[in-house]
């Protein structure tokens, strides 16, 4: 199969940009590593508690913002409803119950069912991935 000139140009432009981005990725990784190291060294002055804290040093203000990503296992949460209720803790006040689409099931819907369900779903394309795999050397 042959690519059109426009396809070749688009692929070449992407490849050049991806190659140019490699040094930037390395710099970003180095900065993140240095930031983690600096934060660890400053733990005594700026505790790693969640939120933002700051300290003044020689006229400079050093601010540290700490956040955590929390993933919730909904099945386990539901199993905790009774023990927490006994402690007067409401799961409904602790969690936002948001619908989450099961893509496998969605793809298996009939066209009619999908048309109805699509009225409550906004679908936007994600960023595609692209990789160039060199040809295998034939012997």
Calculate the CA dihedral of residues 78, 81, 83, 88 and round it to 10 degrees.
Answer: 160
Spatial distance between the Cα atoms of 15 and 1, rounded to a whole number of angstroms:
19
In the three-class reduction of DSSP (H, G, I as helix; E, B as strand; rest coil), residue 110 is classed as: coil
* Range 48-54, long-range pairs (CB < 8 A, 24+ positions): none
Render 10-23 in DSSP notation, one character per residue. Answer: HHHHHHHHHHHHHH
Give, as one character, the DSSP assignment of residue 109. S
> What local confidence, expressed as pLDDT, does residue 136 receive?
82
> What local confidence, expressed as pLDDT, does residue 127 receive?
78
- Global pTM? 0.60
Strand spans (E) along the chain:
51-57, 60-66
> What local confidence, expressed as pLDDT, does residue 98 receive?
82
Structure tokens belonging to residue 124? 């936007």
Strand partners, 62: 55
What are the pLDDT digits (tens) for 101-133? 898 999 899 999 999 999 988 988 887 777 777
> What local confidence, expressed as pLDDT, does residue 30 receive?
95
Spatial distance between the Cα atoms of 80 and 61, rounded to a whole number of angstroms:
43
- Residues in the chain predicted with pLDDT less than 70, given as ranges, are none
């Amino acid at each position: 199969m042959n690519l059109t000139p426009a396809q070749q140009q688009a692929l070449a432009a992407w490849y050049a940009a991806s190659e140019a981005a490699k040094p930037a990725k390395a710099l970003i990784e180095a900065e993140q590593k240095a930031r983690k190291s600096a934060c660890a060294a400053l733990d005594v002055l700026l505790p790693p508690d969640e939120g933002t804290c700051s300290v003044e040093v020689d006229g400079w203000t050093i601010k540290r913002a700490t956040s955590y990503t929390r993933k919730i296992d909904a099945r386990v949460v539901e199993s905790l409803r009774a023990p927490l209720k006994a402690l007067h803790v409401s799961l409904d006040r602790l969690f936002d119950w948001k619908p989450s689409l099961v893509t496998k099931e969605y793809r298996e819907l009939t066209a009619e069912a999908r048309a109805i369900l699509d009225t409550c779903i906004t679908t936007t394309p994600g960023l595609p991935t692209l990789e160039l795999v060199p040809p295998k050397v034939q012997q």
